[in-house]
Structure 1
Amino acid sequence: MTYRNVVSAVVRALAAESINSTGGCDFEPKVQCAKQKGQIVGKEASFLLDCWVFGRLHKALNQQHWRVLVAKYSTHVERKHTAIAELTRSVGSPAPKRFLHCAVVTWALPKRPGMDGKRSTNVLPAGWYEMDNWSDEPYPIKTQERWRREIRKALEREVDEALLLAQVLLDAEGLIETKAA
């Protein structure tokens, strides 16, 4: 099995830990069950590969790159919130702490078009997306926009770096599809 691209590999690997009820890549019982029937194929093989990629990326990437990928792509709520909190402490910005925290949270949990948070647990209440609520002190709107833009650019730059490193790693393992032109 190969992944279409590095983003799909990262998303599947990060989702693998949320698949079972205990939270974690609990692939051993599934593998043992599959072995009893013969070789590991189908969903079990895909799940095993996703768990392997999760472990490989977690070990190979530095903590900051891992955090930024978890904050952006993970479906594991607790790990996502932990990564957001850690990113808030590590991102440099002249913005006040509360503003910085809100900027990181809304970057990691963006407002989806046409969604009011009724069907998705990863959508914040509407007030979170209004920059005027991000600080108790009145700052000019241009300053707030500049702070938010710089924070998001820094986070996206880190995501790009992490995905590039993941691409190199997964290419070396032959796990990314290569299409002939």
Structure 2
Amino acid sequence: MIYPSVLSAVVSALAAECIDNTSKQAWQRLIDLDTVKVGRGGFGGDRMQADCWVFARLHSQLLPRHWTALVAKYSTHKARKVEAIGKLAVLVASHAPRLFVYKAVTAWAIPPLKGADGKRSADMIVLDARLYDMNTWDVESRPERTRRRWRQGVTVVLEDMVTEALAAAESVLECEGVLLSSVA
């Protein structure tokens, strides 16, 4: 399997663990029309194996903070995403109070979804709109300008972590020969 980019490889690998490829009873297939139409989320057996292998390879080869940043940003696995948010909040250096940093990391990792009350899929984490209100992030009610500066600082640190993680993932995947650029 060859991926066109490092981002597509990471997203596919992180999504692979959420795909339900268990065999279904006949009555379950009648109810679950998506499974009947596209079969295991549209992935063939070879693609699923490649995605799982890339998942395992990246998890074992990347620094823990890089892996955690990728999981927080791109994973669709609810429990892993929440766990990654908690780990990242501790890693982010900021002058902001810990509660502020935790909520800023959470809002970054789980952006608000478009749609009616952000509800597009039952499988997505949907946060209450109040969590995205910075006024609730600081119990001492510091000035808006300070809170914006803190939030921007947290976002820059997180985006830098993701950029570093993608660069590290790219070198791992190029060594393995699974990126389109490494084949040429």
So what's the TM-score if we normalise by structure 1? Answer: 0.83
Taking only the aligned residue pairs, the percentage that are identical comes to: 47
Aligned to 2:128: 125
Distance 1:138-1:64 versus aligned 2 partners, 3 A rule: same
Aligned to 1:157: 160
SS at match of 1:178: helix
Q: Could you tell which deviates more after superposition, 9-18 or 121-130?
A: 121-130
How far apart are 1:157 and its partner, in Å? 0.3
How far apart are 1:145 and its partner, in Å? 0.4
Inter-partner Cα distance in structure 1 for 2:53 and 2:67: 15
Inter-partner Cα distance in structure 2 for 1:178 and 1:56: 19
RMSD after superposition:
1.8
SS at match of 2:59: helix
SS at match of 1:84: helix
1:17 matches 2:20:
no
How far apart are 1:115 and its partner, in Å? 5.3
Q: Mapping of 1:104-119 within 5 angstroms? A: 104-114=105-115, 116-119=117-120
Inter-partner Cα distance in structure 1 for 2:92 and 2:172: 26
Distance 1:113-1:44 versus aligned 2 partners, 3 A rule: same
Q: Mapping of 1:38-49 within 5 angstroms? A: 43-49=44-50
Structure 1 residue ranges (4+ consecutive) displaced by more than 3 angstroms after TM superposition = 112-115
Inter-partner Cα distance in structure 1 for 2:143 and 2:114: 27
How many residues end up aligned between the 2 structures? 160
SS at match of 1:116: helix
SS at match of 1:2: coil
Inter-partner Cα distance in structure 2 for 1:115 and 1:96: 32
Higher helix share: 2
Give ranges in structure 2 of 5+ residues lacking alignment: 23-42
AA paired with 1:20?
D
Aligned to 1:2: 2
Contact 1:117 1:125 in 2 (8 A): no
